[in-house]
């Protein structure tokens, strides 16, 4: 067999390998919960109140003649929070998840139509698009829907239709695996391409020149951390090299799972550093990476096991 075909088969086998449905459910809970949080803490009114001259629509926002009003933004924000929470709970996923994603696209589109496209939530949105494409597979475990159905049955005192409400054994399947691994590849590509563009447009001078110092100084009010690094050229070169190496090597987490213990905390630390030094919020990106790459059923089982080993506290003597 020729090499490209073999490689393609290997990739296909990896992407479409079987997976525990609870892992996909955990990704659903995490990503939708994060989306609800993003809706709740963002101030879309800032851009909704901008004068018409500041409306510079990008991509699909060109469908809008002007910036949606603050009232529309508030309605979308409330709908988005409710829909995202319902989707996180696994309720009416066919309706709740598309609604949450549409609200997110419009509200993020508003933020991106005010003069600068903000990359912060792009990775989260890409992962949500994958979740959207996998249909109801993401709500087949760890969902409130099944509990609600059982409670309703008990309330009505109707005889339970055996197989429907009986606790189903956890069966792994291909349909639970490809969404997780596609999201993993999307995240890995996001980091790799950010590094690739630096090599493409700047090359080694991105590390060896004063570039990072200039980025850190180029703020109205640089933070103490920004000035601490920018005032020390050698330290700035080390940070520049570290971040470029991290971005370029990030796809290794796909092939070498052990490297996740190093590279995932690495990107979290990089984004926290960027938040403090440049006041740029990439929390949605690193949280999406943590949600997608951590094997939550294993983590939950480990925590349960660890807690079971801890002896119960005795009652204090009186």
Partner 1 sequence: MTPVNEGTSSARAGAATQRHARAFVGVFLATIVVCALATWNLWPFSNWDLFSRLRTDRQTGWEALAVVGASRERAYPIASLPDGYRGFALVMSDFARDSVAQRDAVCETWLRDATRRFGLRTRRVSIFHVEWLLLDRRGNREAPPHLTLAWTCSAKGVREAA
Rg (CA), the chain: 23
The Cα–Cα gap between 180 and 134 comes to: 10
- Position among 6, 7, 10, 12 found at the interface with partner 1 (CB under 8 A): 12
Q: Which is nearest to 127 in space by CA: 28, 36, 193, 194?
A: 28
Residues between 51 and 90 with contacts to partner 1, criterion CB under 8 A: 51, 53-54, 56, 58-59
**Tokens read off for 58:** 């990008």
Site string for partner 1, 96-125 (x = CB under 8 A): ------------xx-xx-xxxxxx-xxx-x
Minimum separation from the CB atom of position 294 to partner 1 (A): 22
Burial class (CB in 10 A: 0-12, 13-18, 19+), 286: buried
Cα distances from 266 to residues 15, 56, 222, 255, 262, in angstroms, run 25, 35, 23, 17, 6
Tell me: does residue 297 bind partner 1 (CB under 8 A): no
Judged by CB under 8 A, which stretch of 23-31, 138-146, 181-189, 294-302 contacts partner 1?
181-189
Site string for partner 1, 125-144 (x = CB under 8 A): xx--xx--xx----------
Tell me whether residue 16 or residue 64 sits nearer to partner 1 (CB atom): 16
Tell me: does residue 249 bind partner 1 (CB under 8 A): no
* 68 in Cβ contact with 106 (< 8 Å): yes
Tell me: does residue 227 bind partner 1 (CB under 8 A): yes
Q: 243-265 as b/e, with b when 16 or more CB fall inside 10 Å? A: bbebbbbbbbbbeeeeebeebbe
Query: What residue ranges bind partner 1 (CB under 8 A)?
Result: 12, 15-16, 43, 46-47, 50-51, 53-54, 56, 58-59, 108-109, 111-112, 114-119, 121-123, 125-126, 129-130, 133-134, 174-175, 178, 182, 185-186, 189-190, 193-194, 196-198, 200-202, 205-206, 209-211, 213-215, 217-218, 220, 222, 227, 279-281
């Amino acid at each position: 067999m020729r090499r490209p075909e073999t490689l393609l088969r290997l990739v296909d086998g990896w992407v479409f390998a079987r997976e525990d449905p609870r892992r996909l459910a955990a990704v659903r809970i995490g990503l939708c919960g994060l989306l609800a949080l993003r809706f709740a803490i963002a101030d879309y009114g800032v851009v909704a109140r901008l004068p018409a001259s500041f409306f510079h629509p990008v991509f699909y926002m060109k469908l809008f003649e002007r910036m949606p009003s603050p009232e529309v933004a508030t309605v979308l924000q409330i709908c988005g929070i409710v829909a995202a929470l319902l989707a996180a709970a696994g309720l009416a996923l066919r309706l709740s998840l598309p609604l949450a994603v549409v609200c997110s696209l419009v509200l993020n589109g508003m933020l991106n139509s005010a003069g600068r496209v903000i990359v912060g939530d792009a990775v989260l949105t890409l992962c949500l698009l994958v979740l959207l494409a996998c249909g109801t597979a993401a709500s087949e475990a760890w969902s409130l829907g099944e509990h609600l159905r059982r409670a309703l049955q008990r309330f009505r005192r109707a005889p339970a239709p055996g197989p429907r409400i009986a606790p189903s054994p956890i069966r792994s399947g291909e349909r639970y695996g490809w969404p997780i691994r596609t999201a993993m590849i999307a995240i890995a590509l996001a980091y790799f391409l950010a590094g690739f563009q630096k090599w493409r447009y700047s090359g080694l001078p991105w590390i060896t020149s004063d570039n990072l110092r200039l980025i850190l100084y180029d703020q109205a009010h640089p933070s103490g951390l920004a000035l601490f690094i920018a005032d020390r050229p050698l330290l700035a070169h080390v940070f520049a090299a570290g971040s470029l190496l991290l971005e370029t090597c990030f796809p290794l987490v796909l092939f070498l799972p052990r490297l996740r213990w190093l590279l995932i905390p690495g990107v979290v630390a990089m984004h926290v550093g960027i938040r403090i030094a440049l006041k740029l919020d990439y929390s949605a990106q690193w949280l999406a990476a943590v949600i997608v790459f951590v094997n939550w059923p294993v983590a939950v089982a480990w925590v349960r096991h660890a807690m079971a080993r801890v002896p119960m506290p005795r009652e204090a003597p009186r």
